[in-house]
Amino acid sequence: MKKTHVKTNDVIFQTVTKVVAFIIIIYSLHLFFSGHYTPGGGFIGGLMTASAFVLMLLAFDIKTVVNTLQVDYIKLTATGLLIAVLTGVGSFFFDVPFLTHTFDYVQLPLLGKTALATAVLFDLGVYLVVIGVTMTIIQTIGETE
Amino acid sequence: MAFQLLLNFFLAFIWMFLSNDYSSLAFFKGFFFGGLVIVALRRFFTHRIYFLNIIAVIKLLFIFLSELIKSNFAVLKVILSPKLTIQPGIFALETDLEKDWEITILSNLITLTPGTLVVEVSEDNKTLYIHAMDIGDVEQAKLDIKNTFEKAIKDVSR
């Protein structure tokens, strides 16, 4: 199937994308960090970050976006899996079952009393895997003629 | 404009450091006095004072809101009228705005005005093709757009 290419001027779409992509990504980061006490978390945050990248793919062509981001998504997926597994392995050092998570209140210099949970690290792994897998699927489908 | 705004923030931070008070109130005090200093030394800048830009942006926002309300009432009139007397059509509008964001804002504003809708921007960003719900008074519509929106947008980017 051949696509007929009518050249259109995407100036409005591209300008709006340049603004909206930042807002989507910052919102996805907010969702990622709010996952412990409120709805959100690694999975939905990763999907929203990937959706911002997909919006960029829609507004610009694939080459531009690949040059802009310059991320190897397969390596990103591997990194995410590694982080998730290592947070599980870390529980062996304290003689507790695999994937046992803990949290503690830490006095940080600027933030004051902050609850730091190891579950956030596991969530970071999930986040990276979701971005990597989503973008790999979409770019692979997009590049095949 | 961005430079003046950064300078004002910088002066506010200096005020905080000098008064050894890191509250938001001290920041606002410093921002106010920094603004006074920038107004006093406005001859140094090539650009006009940035407060005027902010006022222009707020004006544009109010134009946008009023047009939104007007356009909804206009469409309501057309829908509720018993006879359909409209004549749809497409006309071209030459614009002298150049930057991408200016054209985007102008297009969005035209789309929200009563009875007009941007369908296409030409390759060289010089012409907007606009679909009008009622083609009868094209020249009047063109003049309206030129006088209100283009002027307001130019005032922001001046």
- Chain B interface disruption, residue of A9, A13, A20, most B CBs within 10 A: A9
User: What residues are paired with A49 via a beta bridge?
Assistant: none
Average confidence (pLDDT) over B5-17? 91
**For residue A20, which residues of chain B lie inside 8 Å, CB to CB?**
none
Q: Which two tokens stand for residue B56?
A: 């222009």
Of B101, B89, B94, B153, give the one whose Cα is nearest residue B127.
B94
User: What residues are paired with B153 via a beta bridge?
Assistant: none
Dist CA B100 CA B107 (whole Å): 11
Asked whether the beta carbons of residue B121 and residue A16 sit closer than 8 angstroms, the reply is no
pLDDT in tens, A15-62: 999 999 999 999 999 999 888 788 888 899 999 999 999 999 999 888
- Count of structural domains, chain B: 2
- Chain A interface disruption, residue of B95, B102, B104, B125, most A CBs within 10 A: B104
Helices A119-143 and A73-89, axial angle in degrees (round to 10):
160
Same domain, B40 and B108: no
Q: With cut-offs at 50, 70 and 90, classify the pLDDT of residue A3.
A: low
Residue B64 pLDDT > 70: yes
pLDDT score, position A2: 55
Same domain, B37 and B71: no
Same domain, B81 and B39: no
Q: With cut-offs at 50, 70 and 90, classify the pLDDT of residue A145.
A: low
pTM value? Answer: 0.78
pLDDT score, position A4: 60
Which of B121, B122, B123 is closest, CB to CB, to A12? B121
B121 to chain A, any CB pair closer than 8 A? The answer is yes
Query: What are the contacts of B8-13 at 24+ separation with CB within 8 A?
Result: B8/B34, B8/B35, B8/B38, B8/B50, B9/B34, B10/B34, B11/B37, B11/B38
Of B154, B151, B152, B158, give the one whose Cα is nearest residue B58.
B152
What beta strand segments (E) does chain B contain?
89-94, 116-121, 127-132
Residue A92 pLDDT > 60: yes
B104 to chain A, any CB pair closer than 8 A? The answer is yes
Dist CA B9 CA B2 (whole Å): 11
Dist CA A84 CA A78 (whole Å): 10
pLDDT score, position B136: 75
Same domain, B19 and B69: no
**For residue A7, which residues of chain B lie inside 8 Å, CB to CB?**
123
Same domain, B27 and B55: no
**For residue A12, which residues of chain B lie inside 8 Å, CB to CB?**
103-104, 107-108, 118, 121
Same domain, B9 and B57: no
How far apart are the CA of A13 and the nearest CA of chain B, in angstroms?
8
pLDDT in tens, A59-73: 988 888 888 888 899
Same domain, B80 and B29: no
Same domain, B37 and B98: no
- Give the 3-state secondary structure of residue B48: coil
Same domain, B71 and B118: yes
Same domain, B19 and B75: no
Asked whether the beta carbons of residue B104 and residue A11 sit closer than 8 angstroms, the reply is yes
Same domain, B150 and B73: yes
**For residue A9, which residues of chain B lie inside 8 Å, CB to CB?**
120-123, 125
Residue range(s) defining the domain that contains residue B38 = 2-44
How far apart are the CA of A15 and the nearest CA of chain B, in angstroms?
6
Question: What is the number of alpha carbons within 13 Å of residue A95 lying toward its C-beta?
Answer: 0
Cβ under 8 Å to B: A residues 10-69: 11-12, 14-16
Main-chain phi, psi angles of B66, to 5 degrees? -65, -40
Same domain, B31 and B62: no
**For residue B103, which residues of chain A lie inside 8 Å, CB to CB?**
11-12, 15
A110 to chain B, any CB pair closer than 8 A? The answer is no
